Chain A
Amino acid sequence: MLRKYFNLFIFIIILISTSYLFLNIGKIFDPFSINLNARYQKPSLNHPFGTDYLGRDLFARTMYAIGISLKISIIALFISFILSFIFGSISGFFHNKFPDKIISWIYDILITVPLILILSAALSVLKPSIEITYLIVGLLIWPIPARLIKGEIIQIKNSTFILADKALGIPKYLTILKSFPLIFYPALSNLLFNLPELITLEIGISFLGFGVQPPNPSLGKLIFQGILDANIAWWEALFPVLVLIILMILIFIFTQKLKFKY
């Protein structure tokens, strides 16, 4: 029990520290300074990923963009975890009663309508910024972990140790406190499985014109610009995509490790 939580905790710590590492590497190499004499330079020791149409260092920009994506998707995960805990425990305690039915109705709406539709509707009204985008994402992705928490609670409610507690006359709040850590793990690990999807969501949103606002670099805009300039500068899109794929594979391996530590 403690061991698997320990693994999760270490994984989250690693994620947060990598996001800060990426951001700081980006800052050291300076992603913002424009140098028109060094436009479209090929990858070299000075510029490992080459430079773009304004002479900005692409290595720094890629690292900084991934750092921003990681950091903000972790915040979105945190928001949706809190929401899923609240809604999941309500619908678990009042299973098949009025609050549970309302919550699962909202759940069905959020599941059937594609995320991008609600997101773009909300973003067209609000001011475009990456923080607000991920706040809304956090408000929208809670249903599946909430279902998992609900399922865990129902399972625990029917288990024998709760019956034993009842028979011994232990007060209800103590029983709830005791079974508290049992309900988190599936929801948390499911949210972490969604992390790659969230990181790449930024790309889709940047294609729609929201997301990170300039001059801050964003992964989606880097790749889109790179595809447009592909016949002049092959390195512009290739390196961000490669780094993205490597990051995805690493996260996948980590989450697989989490899954088998039951």
Chain B
Amino acid sequence: MEFIIKKFFYSISLVFGTFTLTFIIFNLIPTNPARIILGPNAPQEAVIELERKLGLDKPLYIQFINEFKDTFKFKFKKSIISEKDVLKEVIKRFINSFKVIFLTLIFSIFISYFLNLISFYHPKFKFIVNITKIGIILPTFVSSISIITLIAIFFPKISIRYNPENFLTLILPALILSFYPIAFLTHVFNKKINEITKSTYFKSAVSLGFSKNYIFHKICFKASLVSLLSSLVNILSVAFFSTIIIEIVFTIPGIGLLLFDSVIKKDFPMLKAIVFINALFFITINLIAEILYSKIDPRINYA
């Protein structure tokens, strides 16, 4: 329990750190955001007006305190371009992205599980696992980009655009995204199983006559759960990078497309909110995973 409280406060300090990092990026780099937004030909009065609107005319430490208060009350400034409430917009887009990422995770978990199950039951099918290892050679989104290219060249008639009413249009992007996670998870799981099959407790379980089903699920799966979980967390942040590209190609209105739009239109409040909320999400995920490790494997004790 003490460990959980410690981790919780440490995560809060990490949130504060990311806030400081974004503040440094947006305020300390010697450029004028108001000038960037309005362009080089804008009159000086308009620039000063916008500076006042963004709160850039105050001293730096007051800006920092004001923004700190606002951000931790989840009161963000309104978007410069669309005048929308930033928080609502980000959360709405985030849910769209999360659908894709969730489907990807489900696909990758189930496919890697079944591949390992098959190769465990019938060792002659082991070559399938070895083939998927090719996926790790290619960096995270090279595989997805090459699949998109192949689809665009050989099946030009497939309409790949996302349709919000039709849930099935999410399946193709999710499948393309899950190419790397499948390879990664299969590799990790397979390596762990190979390790376990050499151990003495595995041999004793076999000689005691437990069924293959029992051995796979109760011994191999349970023992490799921690490393699978940590690689899932790893995959989540990797998948985030690829979703940006997938969303731009498939025009899914997710967080990646929002990032793309607000980067192009120089929508700084929106960008701040995107960075902060995503950082919050990833830090929470990490916290949950670290608590889960110690629950799954009691030997892990960070305190």
Q: Total A-B pairs in contact (CB under 8 Å)?
A: 129
Q: A196-B139, A209-B264, A249-B137 are in contact. Are A230 and B145 (CB under 8 A)?
A: no
Contacts of B153 in A (CB 8 A): 230, 234, 237-238
Cβ of B224 to closest chain A Cβ, rounded Å: 23
Residues of B with C-beta under 8 A to A244: 142, 146
* Contact call A200/B21, Cβ cutoff below 8 A: no
Interchain CB contact (< 8 A) of B240 among A106, A116, A125, A226: A116
Q: For A124, A199, A238, which residue has the most chain B Cβ atoms within 10 angstroms?
A: A124
The prevalent SS among residues of A at the interface is helix
Query: Among the listed B141, B145, B263, which residue makes an inter-chain contact with A209, where contact means beta carbons less than 8 Å apart?
Result: B263
Q: Among A2-10, A44-52, A75-83, A107-115, which stretch is in contact with chain B?
A: A107-115
Cβ-defined partner of B145 (8 Å) among A118, A124, A199, A241: A241
How many Å lie between the Cα of A125 and that of B28 in the bound state? 10
Q: Assuming the A-B contacts A112-B282, A230-B156, A248-B139, are A203 and B145 also in contact, with contact meaning beta carbons closer than 8 angstroms in the complex? A: yes
Nearest CB of A to B277, in Å? 10
Within A93-129, the residues touching B (CB, 8 Å) are 105-106, 108-109, 112-118, 120-126
Query: Complex formed: what's the CA distance from A217 to B46 in Å?
Result: 37
Roughly how many angstroms separate A161 CA and B140 CA in the complex, as a whole number? 42
Number of interface residues of A (CB under 8 A): 42
Query: Cβ of A204 and Cβ of B245 under 8 Å apart?
Result: yes
Q: In the complex, are the beta carbons of B278 and A203 less than 8 A apart?
A: no
Q: Is B137 a contact partner of A248 (Cβ separation < 8 A)?
A: yes
CA distance A199 to B138 in the complex (A): 11
The closest CB in chain B to the CB of A109 belongs to B17
Contacts of A177 in B (CB 8 A): none
Chain A minimum-CB-distance residue to B234: A111
CA gap between A44 and B13 in the complex, in Å = 60
Given contacts A105-B14, A249-B137, 10 further A-B contacts (CB under 8 A): A105-B17, A113-B278, A114-B241, A117-B274, A122-B25, A122-B29, A203-B141, A223-B149, A230-B149, A244-B142
